[in-house]
Chains A and B, each alone.
Chain A
């Protein structure tokens, strides 16, 4: 069972990179919404150290508004970056509190 569904608001975790990660720094801490749920994959943190039977996590595509990522972004309000994030890097956002 995946923890998040398409359309749900999420925050990408902001963590250090000791070990290995495929989450670029520019999206860490950013809020976005789930664009689609993909499927489970071996996570890079384990794959990178030669553990093919390591942990598997659901992978999601997350949409992020360019204006939220970049200060003084020049472009349309609807411009987006979309990126794949594994479940253990995603946190739920309480939409009511926003």
Chain B
């Protein structure tokens, strides 16, 4: 790639574009997926299979979160946030519908336990 100043580089490298950057050695510790992480994976696969949100739309949604969120959230946290963002962007539900649903889910758990 051509030589660029630091700000111009941001036009040429997205937050997920990591190939060739120096990093720490591998951490080979593995964690079994939490049930909600696996459900989140199946949710995005379902949306993809139905043509609602393609995997490429999901990837772009994650890249567009910006460096701070991209670096801070876990893998499936990004997927969950991205699914909500993209579905809202595409007009499938509104932010207030999501807020109401979240309140309803929390209430259900409080009452159920």
Contact = CB atoms under 8 A, between A and B. Distances in A.
B107 interface: no
A14 B17 contact: no
Contacts, number: 50
B9 to A, nearest CB: 9
B11 A25 contact: no
B51 A52 contact: yes
Given A17-B11, A26-B19, A70-B20, A49 B1 contact: no
Interface residues of B, number: 18
Which bucket holds chain A's interface residue count? Answer: 20 to 34
Contacts of A26: 1, 19-20
Contacts of B19: 24-27
A14 B9 CA distance: 12
B56 interface: yes
Give chain A's interface secondary structure class: loop
A78 to B, nearest CB: 19
Contacts of B13: 17, 25
B10 to A, nearest CB: 9
